[in-house]
Amino acid sequence: MSDFIRDLAIPDVKVIRPVKHGDHRGYFSEVYNREALAKVGFSLDFVQDNQSFSQAPWTLRGLHFQIGPFAQAKLIRVLQGSVYDVAVDLREGSPTKGRWVSVMLSATTGNQILIPSGFAHGILTLEPDTEVLYKVTTHYSPPHDKGLAWDDPDLAIDWPLEGNAPILSDRDTKNPRYADMAPTFGPDGAGLTP
């Protein structure tokens, strides 16, 4: 599936670059292969695909996660445009708890990010008409769907806004700060019982 899998500064978060086979017609790429991921230590059972479209650049979605039995691992890729993708470690006992990592994802490069459960996730679109597709390991559950403030000064995420104000949903203007969160995930990313 991939000729390139690398760790980010938080090693449990991976960047994957699937191989593209191109010719005069275009290209073919195997963008997901369960067996190939299992060979590098990821036995994930994805149950749902989600797709988002953002018309304007600087659209910020996040930071989102699901708690309890609906904690989600995610495999994210961009179909059109580009995004700045962020994962924040929320796992109790993790040496990187409260830290974040980021990567630029684009349709041109075809790279992906694999985020295990136990992380909050957010994206900032960098181009107009950006489409993102991501696989998740549990179904969407509104009562378990939570958020974290995208602009939390304790996290100090360096969003590349270039002086622009982000376009946010009403929900994402009201997410709590990291310091106000109760413990949410165990060290393995499994959701803790509230």
Q: Which residues pair with 22 in a beta bridge?
A: 27
Question: Does the active-site annotation cover 178?
Answer: no
Question: Does the active-site annotation cover 27?
Answer: no
For 44, counting Cβ atoms within 10 Å of its Cβ (0-12 exposed, 13-18 middle, 19+ buried), the class is middle
Hey, how many other C-beta atoms are within 10 angstroms of the C-beta on 142?
7
Q: Which of 64, 121, 144, 178 is catalytic?
A: 64
Q: Which of 21, 24, 121, 134 is catalytic?
A: 134
Q: Which residues pair with 64 in a beta bridge?
A: 121, 147
Q: In the numeric block, which tokens belong to residue 61?
A: 């979605």
Burial profile 65-95: b = 16 or more Cβ within 10 angstroms, e = fewer: bbbbebbbbbbbbbeebbbbbbbbbbbeebe
- Annotated active-site positions, please? 64, 134
